[in-house]
Structure formats: structure tokens, C-alpha cells
Chains A and B, each alone.
Chain A
Amino acid sequence: MRGLQLSLNQTQKVRLQRALEKLESLSSKANSNASVIVADSIPVNHEDGLLKGHGTTEFNGEVVATVCGVVERVNKLVYVRSLRARYKPEVGDIIVGRVIEVAPKRWRVEINYSHDAVLMLSSMNLPDGIQRRRTALDELNMRSIFEENDVICAEVRGFQHDGLHLQARSQKYGKLGRGQMLTVPPYLVKRRKQHFHNLEQYGIDLILGCNGFIWVGEHVEVTDDMVVDQVNNSEQQSAKSDVKFFSPGEQERSYTPQETRESICRTANAIRVLSTLGFNITVEVIMETVDLSSSLKQQVPIHEMLGSEFCVLVAEKEAARRSLTKKKG
């Protein structure tokens, strides 16, 4: 946790201190002496071969760290896992990003990486759901799919000669609307099987992007292409291009109720608290935090969730949770 900027009173300070000490005592001691700072030499056994990975370099015959972090060893490979860095994409990661430019046949997307990602027109499903060649007309209509500053969700496809490519070949990817995008340090989001979550009791969607961008929004029913297509065919041909993206009439009809808005804000604030405390962000922890905020004797109002009292509570709760799982394991 870096420089927590909260005004705590004396009791809160003591409680937070105690919770953090407890957390520290629970963390595994296995790697505690493996932390290095820049230019620390890493002890290695040169006799049985060695592969220098990320964050290391050779200097005067010694292996030296180039970033601050924790030394990891996998067989012969020695690398340093850095404490804080920008997001490093891996193929298959699910990410949330913001469109910054509409270029010929592609969108440029900001994803918190050192370069902008590219989403090609050809690597995303067209709104009408038909597989076909992209025509010049499609290219002219690109702005009807994504515009500048739209928040989108996509998958990392891989590195090509001109940078990082994304793809959005499913209905679950695409434009995100009616919600909030949060930015947390990317190392707090771990890669898991499931990054899309539908919190049914609140009617909201949660997308934990691997790049540290998190989307909290109203639940959108993912519609199957083909089914929608057939329904549409029977109705009207011209409405086809707007299947997934709200037409003005639809927008009026599907007005977000206030309860949903409130749960979006509550969830978003729960994530903000977790990220200031530097806890890993998983759907379980988020839900626990949300439940904690609404189950207390006097429900914590949404705007007070970012205050110091709730922050201390969350820290204590996390300490208790971890000690419990530790005992079980």
C-alpha cells in the first residue's frame, strides 16, 4: 500500500495498524528475503546453467536486478517480478479500454500499456452478425460502431508487426454503456478463468479487465447473433445495424432505475476502497465489501464508503478473512 491519504483519528489509526500487522504476519514468508531493488546482485549458481529473464541483466559477471521487485526462479530461469509497472499484455487477456482514434480500418484503443492497442475492423463481429468481407461502406460506418472516447471491452489477440492487436469476436465484447470505468493498478487484478461477472441480485455487470480498467455497469442481456437476426428479419431490414447498440427509441425505453444506479456506485466505491488499500480485486472480495457496506447496523451511505471509517473496517475484515482461510488450509 502506497501513501494512504486518509485522515484517521487515533482509534482508527491503531485499528488500521493492527489489521495491517496481522495481514503482514499472514503473508507467506517463503519469498520475504527475495525482494531486490535496482542494482542488487542476485545470488545464482553459475555451474548449473542459467537463463536471465525480465528485470535482470549481467554486470561484471554477476546477475543484477534492473527493477525493484521479487526474485522468482523457475528451473533455470531467474527473473524479477516488478512491484509496480504498467500493464503487460498476454494473449487471451480480457481488457477494458477506451477508443482514442478512429483510423483507416482500425480503432486505436488506450489500454494502459506502453503502446496503444489496435482493434481491426476485420477482427470484430459486425452488428448484423454475418461473416463477410468488410466493404468500403463498413469502413465509412465505423463511427456508428465505436466512436472516440467510447469504452469497449475486447480480448488480446497478439502482437503483430504494427503493435498489439485486439479482437472482439463475440457478443460479450464490444461497447460498454451506462456504467462507470474505474482505474486500479493492474497488478491488483489477477488472471482468472472468469472476468465477466453478472451480479444478479443487483442487476449489474462487472468486468475485471486484466489491464486494471474495471467496468461496473447495468446488466446487458447478451443476445445470440442468430436469434436476434431472425427476429429482426421478420421485422425490419433497416433496423439491423442497430441490434446491439441502442437506437434512440430503445434508449428511452430502457431507462436505468435508481436502485441499479445506486448499486453501481456502491460496487464502484467498494472497488475504490480495495484499490486504495492495495488488496487483490476479485469478484468475491468485491461482493464481500459491498455486503459489508450494506449489512452494517446503520447502512453505510454510498458517499461515505470512501471515508476512513469504512476503509479501516474493510482492512479488518480482510485480515479476519485471510486468517480464516489460512487456518483452513
Chain B
Amino acid sequence: MEFVSPEGLRLDGRRPMEMRQIRAEIGVVAKADGSAMFEMGNTKVIAAVYGPKEVQNRSQQLNANALVRCEYTMANFSTRRSDEKTKGRSTEISLVIRQTMEECILTNLMPRSQIDIFVQVLQADGGTRSACINAATLALADAGIPMRDLVTSCSAGYLNSTPLLDLNYIEDTCNRRLQGSCRLHREILLENTKQLEYRRGT
């Protein structure tokens, strides 16, 4: 399958180094302490932050830091294809987002408290993980939680010897089918996250 046409355009008409249109909105969940909606092209996610609040499960309470929890879910209607291994993927992405945000939040300022981050994918078109990280960052900033930095994320991949920025679903899945580049894709994502953070900080 041809992912980049001879004219240098991708399937959805972008150049290889072009991102999809992004749109963000804060304050979408009225009762939450902070919330945000983030769109990258057709990918649309919503994030809500509750906290810092009293730890629900006393045995998990940390005496020097805040406990950060994250729950990532995909709405049933977010994608047409039924994904059979969704559950494992959800837990994995929850973990990735939690670790990223935990690093970023100054948890030592809020000892013995808990911060809950909920992210849900409303529409999936590739790059849900990046969109979720971006939405979670915005929601945390909206909630007034002290952070080291704003983490931003964007996926990138290497297909048919062309590097592509911000993969959509078709490019993403084909990438996964080519066993070799699957790994590459993920590493780039994580590295990219750090890189952006680094650049922003200095």
C-alpha cells in the first residue's frame, strides 16, 4: 500500500511532516476540578481531573507524596472496528499516562492526598495515547495543580523509509502489522515526549 504519494502527500492529504489540526478546550466537565477536551484531527478525547483530595484507600496513602491515579477508557462507539485486545491496551496506556503525569506533577507539595485523572477516547483515529497525554496535561493545568512543566506528545512513525508525523489510524495499524517498525514507533513517541519537555524547559 502506498502511504505517501509520488507528489509527497499522505492518505489524508498531509505532507509527511505535517500534523493534523488540533483543537483544545478547557472546562468541559462542570463538576470536575479540572477538565479538558483535546482533538487531533478525528481523534477526540476528554480528560477530567479530581483532586487533590483525601486518599480513598488508606493503605495506598503516601506520607510524602500525592498518589496519582489514572484511568484510560475508550468509549464503545469510538471506533468501528471491535478491538479484541482493548483491555490490556487500556491498562498499558493508563500506566503510561500515570507515569508521565506523576513525573510532571510536583507531588511532594501535596502529601497524603490523591489526584484522579480520567481520560476517555470519544473518537479514535490513531494517536489516542498522545491526545490523552495532551488532554490530561491541560486538565491538570486547569485544576491548578503545580507542575514542573507542560508535557506534550505527538506520535511519529517510520513507514516505507519516510518518517511520518502524527499517524492516523490507517498508518498506525499498518505500522503495527509491519512487526519491525512497531517497536520503533513506540520509542519515538516516548522520546519525543521527553524531547519536547526538555526543549520547553530550557
Contacts and interface: CB of A to CB of B under 8 A. Distances in A.
Nearest to B197: A39
Interface stretch (A81-89, A166-174, A302-310, A317-325): A81-89
A38 interface: yes
Interface stretch (A7-15, A54-62, A191-199): A54-62
B144 A2 contact: no
A85 B144 contact: yes
A9 to B, nearest CB: 23
Interface in A49-93: 55, 57, 59-60, 64, 66-69, 82-86
Nearest to A108: B54
A128 to B, nearest CB: 33
Interface in B29-71: 33-34, 51-54
Contact of B150 (A39, A60, A82, A115): A39
A57 B51 contact: no
Nearest to B150: A38
A85 B143 contact: yes
Interface string A246-260: 000000000000000
A66 B52 contact: no
Interface in B125-179: 141-150
A37 interface: yes
B173 to A, nearest CB: 34
A114 interface: yes
B113 A114 contact: yes
Given A2-B26, A3-B25, A114-B110, A66 B146 contact: yes
A83 B106 contact: no
B146 A67 contact: yes
A116 interface: yes
B150 A66 contact: no
A64 B27 CA distance: 25
A57 B106 contact: yes
Nearest to A59: B201
Contacts of A116: 54
A83 B27 CA distance: 13
Nearest to B146: A66
Contact of A3 (B27, B33, B51, B144): B27
Nearest to B140: A38
Pick the most buried of A59, A85, A116: most chain B CB atoms within 10 A of its CB. Answer: A85
B22 interface: no
A39 B200 contact: yes
Interface string A116-131: 1000000000000000
B149 A38 contact: yes
Contacts of B142: 68, 84
B54 A84 contact: no
Interface string B104-122: 0010001011000000000
B87 to A, nearest CB: 32
B21 interface: no
Given A3-B28, A86-B33, A55 B146 contact: yes
B202 interface: yes
Contacts of A68: 141-142, 144
Contacts of B148: 39, 57, 59, 66
A106 to B, nearest CB: 15
B49 to A, nearest CB: 11
A67 B145 contact: yes
Given A3-B28, A66-B148, A114-B52, A84 B110 contact: no
Nearest to A187: B144
Nearest to A55: B146
A115 B115 CA distance: 12
Given A3-B27, A39-B201, A67 B147 contact: yes
Nearest to A66: B146
Contacts of B141: 37-38, 67-68
Contact of A115 (B25, B28, B54, B200): B54
Contacts of A82: 144
A67 B144 contact: yes
Contacts of B149: 38-39
Contacts of B25: 3
Contacts of A84: 34, 142-144
Closest 10 pairs (CB-CB, A-B): A85-B144, A2-B27, A114-B52, A66-B146, A82-B144, A39-B149, A3-B27, A114-B113, A84-B144, A38-B150
14 contacts: A38-B147, A38-B149, A38-B150, A39-B150, A57-B106, A57-B146, A60-B202, A67-B146, A68-B144, A84-B34, A86-B33, A86-B144, A114-B54, A116-B54
Interface of B: 25-28, 33-34, 51-54, 106, 110, 112-113, 141-150, 200-202
Given A66-B106, A84-B142, A86-B33, 4 more contacts: A57-B146, A59-B201, A60-B202, A66-B148
